[in-house]
Amino acid sequence: MLLRVLAIVAVLLSVPAPHAAAQTPRDQIAAGYELLHRGDAAAATRHFEALQKTAPNDLAVRFGWLMAENERIDFDAGRMPAFEKALDAIIESADTRYGRTHEDTEALFYLANAHLLRAAFRFDHDRGMWGAARDGANAKSYIDKYVKKYPDDADAYFVLGTYNYFADILPTFFKVVRVFLFIPAGNRVEGLKQIERATRSTFFGPTARLLLMDVYNEFEGRPDDAIKLGEGLRNQYPASDAAARSLAEAYAGPAVEDHARAAMLYGTIAARYKSDTSVEGRARHYRALFAQSVQLQESWRLQDAIALLTSGIDNAPTDPACVQPQFLLRRGNLRALLNDASAADDARRVLDENKDAGWRKGATDQIAWIEQRRASGDAARYAALIPANRLVADGQWQEARRLYDAIRAREPQNLNVQYRLAVLDFQSGFPDRAAGAFGELTANRTASTSMRAMSLLYTGRVHDLSGRRADAIKVYQQVIDRYEKESAANLARAALLAPYKRRGPAGS
């Protein structure tokens, strides 16, 4: 009996899935994806290129190469033309095959996947929303046909779930999506189930888990599930940049706000590429270093963030060309927040060293902002709050309140103190007490636009934490309607999809 079972299993394992290519064994294709999931996109590229030498027309191999390159083009723009050409070519090839016979299910499978990949590429790289929408609609049409034939193929549910989920929620974020009346409707609930099912995919399982992390964290109000999934991915693929980035975003999100842990995760990525001299390696290093500095700033470790940026500036990077001016302007901004008298020096250096009109405008605007804040006294007042803000980030509530109260005693009309005390109450577990202060700031026309927008957003969060979902939704919509260009508006859009939840006080 045992021998018979083993024989049946062996036969089943030797039969490729419906979409697998006949000329390349499925395990060789899976090996390329495994290199990608482990975090070695360059090795995955080389693996699929080697397979293409013996099977140049194999759709599975060609698409595997595209998946690897898609991870790399953001860090090396020089790779983009070849990627885009190959993406168009695989769609044309698969379309020709499927046009010859609709029984060619491999062509049908990769038509769906390649159209979804091109939709994402066009959306991410400004290649036109109309084209992205058409690709998305085509992906949905082809994958629906495929799933009807093979409803048990988990690989198919990555495309189906991605389309259904995001087609349903995109109108919340982009008004222009509403004019694409020809695209099929999505289904957020079914899409989520389909993405979850795709985590069992042979090829796309870890990619689906990364997507699921973002969905749980940003749109479903399930940060604990996102973190659990991310920690599992990190344990399985410790060298994966994608896993570290997604986990950092989950820790940095508004329900957790563990910016110290997020900074640590970005630091591991930066360290991995510190000695890498390739274009891609340098870009990965500096992008992670910059993200780490942002998280240090969010936890009010401004001096640490400045030191990190300085380490990048001192290397005098010229490639990528954007790094040096970006780091200088960021450092100048942080110095200004600390009321450093030499804060404008970094912007002046950008003007001296850079001819790009965009960077020069950014530098000119920063100098004007710094001078205005210093002249009005805002710079000094803001800097005085930073030690208390740091204590709040560390969860040292009483010590922070003592510092805030001392400043308020000297400056009873200081709106920044009022706002920071309200944030302290909210984060330390007293949202209803914070609500009154947020309400006053929302109505105070002398408060800055960003302060009024964030105060209104916090008011919605207070409603959510108290179970008043209908009231919360009304407030979030007000944030969007009144403050569309403020960062609070995007946070409000996400809050329309799921009630705000707090994982626990920061530092707990």
pLDDT digits (tens, 9 = 90+) for 29-67: 999 999 999 999 999 999 999 999 999 999 999 999 999
- 149 neighbors 18 (Cβ within 8 angstroms): yes
Between 198-207, 330-339, 433-442, the lowest mean confidence (pLDDT) is in: 198-207
Please list, residue by residue across 90-107, b when 16 or more beta carbons sit within 10 angstroms of its beta carbon and e when fewer do. Answer: bbebbbebbeeeeebbbb
Using a pLDDT cut of 70, give the percent of the chain over it.
93
In the prediction, which pLDDT does 16 show?
Answer: 39
Better-predicted residue by pLDDT, 320 or 397? 397
> Quick check: 180 pLDDT over 60?
no
Q: What angle do CA 291, 297, 301 make, to 5 degrees?
A: 125
In the prediction, which pLDDT does 359 show?
Answer: 96
CATH architecture of 16-203: Alpha Horseshoe (1.25)
In the prediction, which pLDDT does 185 show?
Answer: 80
Separation of alpha carbons 387 and 399, rounded Å = 10
Q: Which tens digits make up the pLDDT trace of 356-370?
A: 999 999 999 999 999
- 139 neighbors 167 (Cβ within 8 angstroms): no
| Burial of 109: CB neighbours in 10 Å, binned 0-12, 13-18, 19+ | buried
The whole-number average pLDDT for the span 318-341 is 94
- Other beta carbons within 10 angstroms of residue 467's beta carbon come to 9
Which residues are within 8 A (CB) of 63 and not within 5 positions of it... i.e. 6 or more apart?
Answer: 90, 110, 113, 114, 117
Better-predicted residue by pLDDT, 5 or 244? 244
HEC assignment per residue over 256-269: CCCHHHHHHHHHHH
In the prediction, which pLDDT does 182 show?
Answer: 58
Closest CA to 197 of 162, 244, 237: 162
What pTM, to 2 d.p., does this model score? 0.90
- Model confidence at 3, pLDDT cuts 50, 70, 90, reads very low
In the prediction, which pLDDT does 9 show?
Answer: 29
DSSP readout, 443-454? Answer: H-TTS-HHHHHH
In the prediction, which pLDDT does 336 show?
Answer: 98
> Quick check: 168 pLDDT over 80?
yes
Please list, residue by residue across 148-157, b when 16 or more beta carbons sit within 10 angstroms of its beta carbon and e when fewer do. Answer: eebeebbbbb
Residue 508 identity: S
Fold of 379-497: 1.25.40
Supply 146's token pair.
């495929």
- Model confidence at 133, pLDDT cuts 50, 70, 90, reads confident
Residue 274 identity: K
Which residues are within 8 A (CB) of 436 and not within 5 positions of it... i.e. 6 or more apart?
Answer: none
> Quick check: 471 pLDDT over 90?
yes
The whole-number average pLDDT for the span 460-473 is 97
Whether a cis peptide bond, with omega within 30° of 0, leads into 223 is no
> Quick check: 181 pLDDT over 70?
no
Give the DSSP H/E element, type plus range, for residue 85.
helix 80-100
In the prediction, which pLDDT does 176 show?
Answer: 55
Using a pLDDT cut of 90, give the percent of the chain over it.
82
- 393 neighbors 258 (Cβ within 8 angstroms): no
CA distances from 227 to 13, 198, 204, 213, 292 (A): 34, 19, 20, 7, 18
- Model confidence at 126, pLDDT cuts 50, 70, 90, reads confident
In the prediction, which pLDDT does 327 show?
Answer: 97
Helices (H), 150-237: 157-173, 188-198, 205-218, 223-236
Closest CA to 476 of 445, 448, 506, 498: 498
Separation of alpha carbons 385 and 417, rounded Å = 8
> Quick check: 184 pLDDT over 80?
no
Fold of 258-376: 1.25.40
Angle at which helices 397-410 and 415-427 cross, to 10° = 160
- Considering the chain, tell me which residue range(s) the CATH 1.25.40.10 domain(s) occupy: 258-376, 379-497
How does the average pLDDT of the chain come out, rounded?
A: 91
